[in-house]
């Protein structure tokens, strides 16, 4: 983790140049320059704006760098989708019930947080907004050093089912990871966390969030609740001996890079793989 966050953001922008218009990148860059002061810690966080709020500034995933004629693709010549745009050609997924966070119970930013706070809380609601090709999303909230956030799905409880029950989406890209510890609770008081080996880079940071690449976004037709297709880090309630949970807490491990306004774990979204109405 020796690279500075500024270098990371520069690499992210370069990796997204084929799938994000210059105007969108300018908007994302402006977020870090003016983080908006972070009106954080709001218990009601959502105000009912969860559906579809995430991704207002996210990568569109289809527009090519030279698509001046309005067509998709890197050269915009034949209207086809760009090879790196992450566009599967499938229609956007219709989610019913809504399996994403739609309330923030608390947000406690650590040192070097700030990025994404001008779009908070909407930036952590709804599906992930990765470009779709395994690159990192810019539609994220930085937690900062040892920062944490507590999220809720207001109409659903996570339940233990076959395989993973929860997916957490950060914005890693190949060779760069910022880890987080994930915990769950049924009452918001008693918490259980999945063990996270934040210092075990050689072993792939087992048990941590912020490791697996992300392939789903709100437009490319990749189901964000499908662990095999969506990417993201998968967590099984059964591994903790739990059959149900209501709240999800993500905290930065303190073992990441912390400079500027984009330090630590960067949260894009969470998704319930197995859930039941309350």
Stretch 82-105: mean pLDDT, rounded? 80
What is the pTM for the complete model shown? 0.71
pLDDT digits (tens, 9 = 90+) for 16-37: 433 444 344 333 333 433 333 3
Q: Greatest CA span in the chain, whole angstroms?
A: 57
Task: Note the pLDDT of residue 268.
Answer: 98
Is residue 160's pLDDT more than 80?
yes
Binned at pLDDT 50, 70 and 90, residue 90 comes out as confident
Top mean-pLDDT range of 64-68, 87-91, 133-137, 186-190: 186-190
41 to each of 107, 121, 149, 191, how far by Cα in Å?
4, 10, 9, 18
Task: Note the pLDDT of residue 199.
Answer: 96
Is residue 84's pLDDT more than 80?
no
- Cβ-contact 249, 183 below 8 angstroms: yes
Task: Note the pLDDT of residue 171.
Answer: 96
Consecutive H or E run containing 180: strand 180-185
- Using CA atoms of 157, 163, 168, 170 in order, give the dihedral in degrees to the nearest 10: -170
3-class SS of residue 123? helix
pLDDT digits (tens, 9 = 90+) for 98-126: 999 999 999 999 999 999 999 999 999 99
Binned at pLDDT 50, 70 and 90, residue 9 comes out as very low
Task: Note the pLDDT of residue 8.
Answer: 52
Name the more confident of 254 and 89. Answer: 254
Stretch 56-69: mean pLDDT, rounded? 38
């Amino acid at each position: 983790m020796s690279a500075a966050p500024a270098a990371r953001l520069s690499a992210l922008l370069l990796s997204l140049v084929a799938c994000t218009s210059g105007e969108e990148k300018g908007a994302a860059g402006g977020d870090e320059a003016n983080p908006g002061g972070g009106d954080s810690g709001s218990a009601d966080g959502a105000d009912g704006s969860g559906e579809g709020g995430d991704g207002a500034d996210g990568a569109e995933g289809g527009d090519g760098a030279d698509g001046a004629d309005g067509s998709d693709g890197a050269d915009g010549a034949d209207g086809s989708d760009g090879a790196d745009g992450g566009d599967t050609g499938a229609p956007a997924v219709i989610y019913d019930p809504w399996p994403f966070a739609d309330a923030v119970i608390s947000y406690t930013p650590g040192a070097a947080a700030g990025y994404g706070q001008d779009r908070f809380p909407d930036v952590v609601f709804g599906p992930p907004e990765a470009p779709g090709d395994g690159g990192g999303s810019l539609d994220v909230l930085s937690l900062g050093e040892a920062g944490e956030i507590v999220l809720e799905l207001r109409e659903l409880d996570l339940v233990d089912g076959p395989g993973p029950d929860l997916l957490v989406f950060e914005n890693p890209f190949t060779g760069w990871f910022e880890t987080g510890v994930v915990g769950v609770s049924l009452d918001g008081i008693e918490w259980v966390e999945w063990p996270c080996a934040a210092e075990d880079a050689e072993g792939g940071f087992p048990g941590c969030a912020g490791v697996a690449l992300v392939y789903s976004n709100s437009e490319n037709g990749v189901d964000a609740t499908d662990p095999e297709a969506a990417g993201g880090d998968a967590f099984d309630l059964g591994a903790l001996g739990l059959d149900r949970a209501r709240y999800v807490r993500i905290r930065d491990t303190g073992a990441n890079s912390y400079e500027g306004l984009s330090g630590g774990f960067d949260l894009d979204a969470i998704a319930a793989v197995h859930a039941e109405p309350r």
